[in-house]
Amino acid sequence: MPFSAGIELPEPHRDTTRKIIHIDMDAFFSSVEERDCPSLRGKPVIIAKHPRKTGGKGIVATANYVARQYGIRSAMSAYEAYKRCPEGIFIEGNFSAYREASLQIRDIMHRYTDLVEPMSIDEAYLDVTENKLNIKSATLLAKNIQQDIWRETRLTSSAGVSYNKFIAKIASDYRKPAGLTVITPEQALAFIHQLPIEKFPGIGPKTSKKMHELKIYTGADLYQMEQLDLIHHFGKAGISYYRKARGIDNKPLNLQRERKSVGKEHTYFQPLTSEAAVLKELRRLAKEVEAVLERHGKQCKTIVVKIRYRSFETLTRQTSFTAPIRDSADIYSYAAELWDKFGQVDREIRLLGVTATKLEPVEHQMISLFPYHL
Ligand code: TTP
Ligand code: MG
């Protein structure tokens, strides 16, 4: 008897009202190399240190389409790639050029909409339901974006157009390079059902293997499964698999809006009545602000202190400086100075807050190359 016997879950709703584009650059790193060095064209190009230089250690970042004909893929060992294609041209990679191209592409996308969710150095989702050009056809928009990218960077991209992120992503991968695939709500189910399960975004080799053991090889096989059985086998991910087999993915774009400030505050049910207690709390808040700034790679040029008295009267006071800071000791010293000037300990403190604003990025070298945080 199936695990789900006797229990029914409500059927999820399929939102088909949005227009989503997914853009993914073709053989990105190697295309930048070929653009900048035309003699590479037509030859197998592999982005990795030559195994001779590394004692066989390195990993392939990517390979152009010529090299892929030899079975060379991203994440393969460079030594394996060398065995498959000894005449291959190994290039270490010029990350600042890739980053620059990536930022150029990002700028082009923002000419169409500000709803852009970058997924990695070479791919992004755009929600063009409403767009800056007031063009209704997402297909036409995708074509225009691809043309702009080509004209301005001499690089090709592939685009997928559909009503959600999940299908747009599969679509962009469907015809590469320089492809454009549109999947309408009417076509979606047939498109998903013919798809091998390992091509579903988010289903990696481990899950594919487990699916195969359950005799799930395609989207159509997945569609046949009961939701509760999928939950039984895959936990919470089972809910998402059930929906994906039905062309449902209502997740909005995840926009990394620029943070304007970082603030921490605490309410004291037992109001603070001594200077020492206030300073101790400011020191703690400064440490918390420092931690968030660090996580976001930001520093600040203004510190704001918020004080609420037992009477509930609240004041905020701020101080600005020209040299940006990010250390908790500096944050604390400005906060303590503000407290010194404006705080009244005899009124009893119910809440304290410390906020860093006028944020700017901390300039540092790219330490890790993958994942790419731009
Ligand atoms: P992908 O978009 O996965 O690959 P791609 O652009 O090279 O090729 P495709 O035409 O199939 O999209 O990744 C983008 C870039 O990210 C790629 O050019 C190199 C880099 N990368 C790595 O460094 N390591 C990896 O394991 C992968 C998958 C990519
Ligand atoms: Mg790519």
Pocket lining: 109 vs ligand 1, CB cutoff 6 Å: no
Q: Which ligand minimizes its atom distance to the CA of 27? A: 1
pLDDT average, residue stretch 346-353? 97
What sign results for the dihedral spanned by CA atoms 120, 150, 158, 93?
A: negative
Whether the ω angle into residue 10 lies within 30 degrees of 0, i.e. cis, is no
User: Rounded CA gap, 272 and 321, in Å?
Assistant: 29
User: Rounded CA gap, 206 and 181, in Å?
Assistant: 28
- Write down the pLDDT at residue 4: 54
Pocket lining: 46 vs ligand 1, CB cutoff 6 Å: no
Pocket lining: 122 vs ligand 1, CB cutoff 6 Å: yes
pLDDT average, residue stretch 136-140? 98
How many Å lie between the centroid of ligand 2 and the Cα of residue 267? Answer: 48
Q: Does the pLDDT of residue 257 top 70, yes or no?
A: no
Other CB atoms within 10 Å distance of the CB of residue 256:
12
Q: Which tokens is 127 given?
A: 């929600």
Q: Does the pLDDT of residue 367 top 70, yes or no?
A: no
The closest alpha carbon to 277, from 352, 185, 355, 365, belongs to 352
**Protein residue with its CA nearest to atom 12 in ligand 1:** 26
Pocket lining: 33 vs ligand 1, CB cutoff 6 Å: no
**Protein residue with its CA nearest to atom 22 in ligand 1:** 61
Q: Does the pLDDT of residue 370 top 60, yes or no?
A: no
Say how many Å lie between the first and final Cα of the chain, rounded. Answer: 51
Mean pLDDT, the chain, rounded, equals 93
Q: Does the pLDDT of residue 252 top 70, yes or no?
A: yes
How many Å lie between the centroid of ligand 2 and the Cα of residue 156? Answer: 10
Pocket lining: 98 vs ligand 1, CB cutoff 6 Å: no
How many Å lie between the centroid of ligand 1 and the Cα of residue 242? Answer: 28
User: Cα–Cα distances in Å, from 116 out to 125, 206, 299, 303, 353?
Assistant: 6, 30, 25, 31, 33
- Write down the pLDDT at residue 6: 62
pLDDT average, residue stretch 164-191? 97
Distance from the Cα of residue 145 to its chain's centroid:
20
Catalytic residues: 123
Other CB atoms within 10 Å distance of the CB of residue 5:
9
Whether the ω angle into residue 51 lies within 30 degrees of 0, i.e. cis, is no
Pocket lining: 141 vs ligand 1, CB cutoff 6 Å: no
How many Å lie between the centroid of ligand 2 and the Cα of residue 253? Answer: 19
- Write down the pLDDT at residue 374: 38
277-325 residue pLDDT tens: 999 999 999 999 999 888 777 899 999 999 999 999 999 999 999 999 9
CA-26 nearest atom, ligand 1: 10
The HSE-up count of residue 301 (CA atoms within 13 Å, CB side) is 9
- CA geometry: angle 132, 135, 136, nearest 5 deg: 125
Backbone angles phi, psi at 261, to 5 degrees: -155, 160
Question: Ligand 2 (ion): which residues have CB within 5 A?
Answer: 24-25, 28, 122
**Protein residue with its CA nearest to atom 20 in ligand 1:** 61
CA-369 nearest atom, ligand 1: 23
| Packing angle of the helix pair 237-245, 227-234 (nearest 10 deg) | 140
30-49 residue pLDDT tens: 999 999 999 999 999 999 99
pLDDT tier, 5 (very low <50, low <70, confident <90, very high otherwise): low
